[in-house]
Amino acid sequence: MSIRERLSGNEAVATAMRQINPDVFAMFPITPSTEIPQYFAQYVADGKVDTEFICVESEHSSLSACLGAEAAGCRAVTATSSAGLSYMNEVLYVAASSRLPVVLAVACRALTGPININHDYSDSMAERDSGFIQIYAENNQEVYDNYLMAHRIAEHESVRLPLMVCEDGFITSHAIENIELEEDDKVKAFVGEYNPENYLLKKENPLAVGPYGISPYYMEARVAQAQAMKNAKKVILDVADDFYNTFGRRYSFFEAYKMEDAEIAMVIMGSSAGTAKVAVDKLREAGVKAGLVKIRVFRPFPSEELCEVLSNCKAVACMDKSEGFSAAGGPLFAETAGAVINAANRPKLIDIIYGLGGRDFTVYAANSVFERLQEIVKTGDVGEVYTHLGQRER
């Protein structure tokens, strides 16, 4: 039976970690993810877990320690944000290419510069091609639920890839919301034990981890890694189905909100989706066929599924909470455009960069985006494809 509680996103993540009881937690603090190891350290001190809790000298070291633990056959976790995630950059690629399923909690925060501690996705989007699976949450319940599913996905024999559980820094990480927690024994039964096939301490099958990839083998390793990311799509859905059957909350690659007959739509991620849904509801009351797609799984990107759900739309706005500096749009726009490029009924697409460094996103702002989409449908003129929303001169 679910337990009703009020928790912040960070405490929800730490609670999920406590229930799973990983073998190793290697930590280095950085705002706004610091509370996760703080809460977990208290669990260690109180004897609620028997995790090896390692305090290291940097984020590079925290993920490196997790890699060593995973290579030895342990279930390892850590948490970080912003520049901490960037400092892990080298090790992120090593983890993915070595097929070590570390689960990394990321409280997404703007990158320097100028220095900023508030939320956007510039940190996680900078690592979108590292080989990590990336799952995002709108609210604290989704953060908790995503973490419960994370190890099952990452450790699956057809995947074996590291995974980022992403929440919105301060907006989700520190805000306290009503949440349904699951009983410890049911969580343990759902997640299961980690039973790697091969690991350094398995004497029956000696191996090396992280060998030099000479030219005759490097590409084959990368192709195998790419196939594992493709395999993750089925595993994500299978685990989500089991989660629904066990706990009663349903998830998929994305949430299609009032998309059945939508003519205009917004593709968005994270907590901003809740704000945009209010705008959709108001438009629906006025007779406007508006909808919203909230992306939950960004890696692997659900291209075919997103293309299908957008196929009846006439105009779509992609909402990027990070600046790609491509002079052509942000990463969510690029992925969405790629998804619909060969669609028979391709909608007109625009990209909106918004919310950088914690800039507010309001119902009024969301409504202004839908008004622009309505104008595109009316005139057929897309206008400027790549624009910014919310800066002072506007």
Mean pLDDT of 193-197: 94
One-letter amino acid for residue 246 of the chain:
T
With a cut of 90, say whether residue 160 has pLDDT above it. yes
> Is the separation of the CB atoms in 27 and 61 below 8 Å?
no
Q: Exposure pattern of 235-255 as b/e (b: 16+ CB <10 Å)?
A: bbbebbeebeeebebebebbb
Tell me the pLDDT band of 113, cut-offs 50, 70 and 90: confident
Please write the tens of the pLDDT for every residue from 282-295.
999 999 999 999 99
- Number of residues that this document lists for the chain: 394
Q: Which residues pair with 294 in a beta bridge?
A: 255, 268
- 331: three-class secondary structure by DSSP: helix
**194 token code pair:** 């980690």
What percent of the chain stands above pLDDT 70? 100
Give the single-character DSSP code of 182: P
Q: Which fold has domain 3-247?
A: Rossmann fold (3.40.50)
**68 token code pair:** 């060593």
Tell me the pLDDT band of 394, cut-offs 50, 70 and 90: low
Distance CA 215, CA 321 (A): 38
> Cα dihedral angle (253, 318, 263, 368), rounded to 10 degrees?
130
Mean pLDDT of 153-165: 98
Of 3.40.50.920, 1.10.10.10, 3.30.499.10, 3.30.2320.50, the CATH number of 254-389 is 3.40.50.920
3-247 and 254-389 in the same fold: yes
With a cut of 90, say whether residue 393 has pLDDT above it. no
What percent of the chain stands above pLDDT 90? 96
Mean pLDDT of 120-124: 98
- 110: three-class secondary structure by DSSP: coil
Phi (first) and psi of residue 260, to 5 degrees: -55, -40
With a cut of 80, say whether residue 179 has pLDDT above it. yes
Distance CA 230, CA 299 (A): 9
Strands 163-168 and 103-108: parallel
> Is the separation of the CB atoms in 336 and 316 below 8 Å?
yes
Please write the tens of the pLDDT for every residue from 349-377.
999 999 999 999 999 999 999 999 999 99
pLDDT on residue 208: 87
Burial of 386 (0-12, 13-18, 19+ CB in 10 A): middle
> Is the separation of the CB atoms in 32 and 199 below 8 Å?
no
Please write the tens of the pLDDT for every residue from 206-229.
888 888 999 999 999 999 999 999
Distance CA 154, CA 164 (A): 10
CA-to-CA dists, residue 89 to 128, 143, 236, angstroms: 11, 23, 25
Beta strands in 215-365 (DSSP E): 254-257, 264-269, 290-295, 297-299, 315-320, 348-354
With a cut of 80, say whether residue 1 has pLDDT above it. no
Strands 76-80 and 24-27: parallel
> Is the separation of the CB atoms in 30 and 60 below 8 Å?
no
> Is the separation of the CB atoms in 177 and 6 below 8 Å?
yes
pLDDT on residue 101: 98
Distance CA 273, CA 47 (A): 38
Give the single-character DSSP code of 358: G
pLDDT on residue 93: 98
Q: Exposure pattern of 64-85 as b/e (b: 16+ CB <10 Å)?
A: bbbbbbbbbbbbbbbbbbbbbb
**184 token code pair:** 């410890």
Name the nearest CA neighbour of 366 among 355, 357, 356: 355
Please write the tens of the pLDDT for every residue from 24-76.
999 999 999 999 999 999 999 999 999 999 999 999 999 999 999 999 999 99
pLDDT on residue 211: 84
Q: Where are the domains of the chain?
A: 3-247, 254-389
pLDDT on residue 282: 98
Name the nearest CA neighbour of 135 among 296, 21, 17: 296
Scan for tokens 């039976």, then name that residue.
1
> Computed from CA positions of residues 333, 339, 341, 343, in that sequence, does the dihedral angle turn out positive or negative?
negative
pLDDT on residue 210: 85
